[in-house]
Amino acid sequence: MQCFANKIAVVTGGGRGIGQEIARMLAAGGAKVAVVSRSEASCGKVAEDINAVYPSAATAYAVDVADHAAVLELAKKIGEELGPVNILVNNAGVTRDGLLMRMKEDDWDTVLDTNLKGAFNTVKAFMRVLMKAEDPRIINIASVIGLIGNAGQTNYSASKAGLIGFTKAVARELAGRAVTCNAVAPGFITTDMTDELPQTIKDAVIGKIPLGSFGETRDIAEVVAFLASPAARYITGQVIAVDGGMTM
């Protein structure tokens, strides 16, 4: 499936987990992909692995998405090095879990700055280019926790609920320029983020998933690839839960 031939994609948080899988799938479809993560080591390794299979498809950029000026600089650099971007995937995200009673201000700020302001920063930085692009797409990786909340994750729930509101408002603002903006809300997916959970919590979560297991990174990447494809041109402002039926 070469439906991303001649397309330029940016995937934030592409250094591991879900973002890595999204970057690989877009590259498999023929896109040139900017793999963005905090550390040079993780995005560099992912780009190297992708290029070993799809030569010259991936370029690594180590940037903190919470840093507004750095993201503006990133957009300039990607424009010069890869060309005008068609697909922006806001996937970078962090957790700093804890009950609200004990949550530190820094835990709140770090999560909101990365998960929500990070998307504001990238959309601001790439929107002018997207508005002139062919099949322009913005895809935000939210979470079912942004839909249903979770004790111990007030910061994360607020960031993801905010990202869903942001998605719908951006979809309305940019619809006139044919830029679609959608959110994917994963349930529990096997990655470093969920590996941190104690086994007792994992067992309790699985009990609430009708399909009976955690999802795989590929389950999310497949939906992102569809939303990024020309086939999804008439879908905007939507939140697609990919959660094994958890929130039905």
Q: Binding of ligand NDP at residue 19 (CB under 6 A)?
A: yes
Q: Which is nearer to ligand NDP, 182 or 191 (CB)?
A: 191
Q: Which of residues 75-94 bind ligand NDP (CB under 6 A)?
A: 91-94
Q: Binding of ligand NDP at residue 130 (CB under 6 A)?
A: no
Kindly indicate which of the ranges 59-67, 72-80, 99-107, 164-172 contains the residues binding ligand NDP, using the contact rule CB under 6 A: 59-67
Told to judge if 156 belongs to the known catalytic residues of this protein, a careful annotator would answer yes
Q: Which is nearer to ligand NDP, 31 or 63 (CB)?
A: 63
Q: If you write DSSP's letter for every residue of 205-235 in order, what string do you get?
A: HHTT-TT-S-B-HHHHHHHHHHHHSGGGTT-
Q: Which is nearer to ligand NDP, 130 or 242 (CB)?
A: 242
Q: Helix or strand or coil: residue 83?
A: coil
Kindly indicate which of the ranges 12-20, 48-56, 125-133, 170-178 contains the residues binding ligand NDP, using the contact rule CB under 6 A: 12-20
Q: Quote the crossing angle between the two packed helices 217-228 and 17-28, to the nearest 10°.
A: 50
Phi and psi (nearest 5°) for 157?
Answer: -60, -45
Strand 239-242, strand 32-37: pairing: unpaired
Q: Is 63:78 a contact under the CB 8 Å cutoff?
A: no
Q: Is 49:16 a contact under the CB 8 Å cutoff?
A: no
Q: Binding of ligand NDP at residue 16 (CB under 6 A)?
A: yes
Q: Binding of ligand NDP at residue 29 (CB under 6 A)?
A: no
Q: Binding of ligand NDP at residue 42 (CB under 6 A)?
A: yes
Q: Binding of ligand NDP at residue 167 (CB under 6 A)?
A: no
Work out which of 4, 9, 11, 17 binds ligand NDP, going by CB under 6 A: 17
Work out which of 64, 107, 135, 219 binds ligand NDP, going by CB under 6 A: 64
Angstrom distance (rounded) from CA 144 to CA 156:
11
Amino acid letter, residue 171:
A
Catalytic residue set: 156
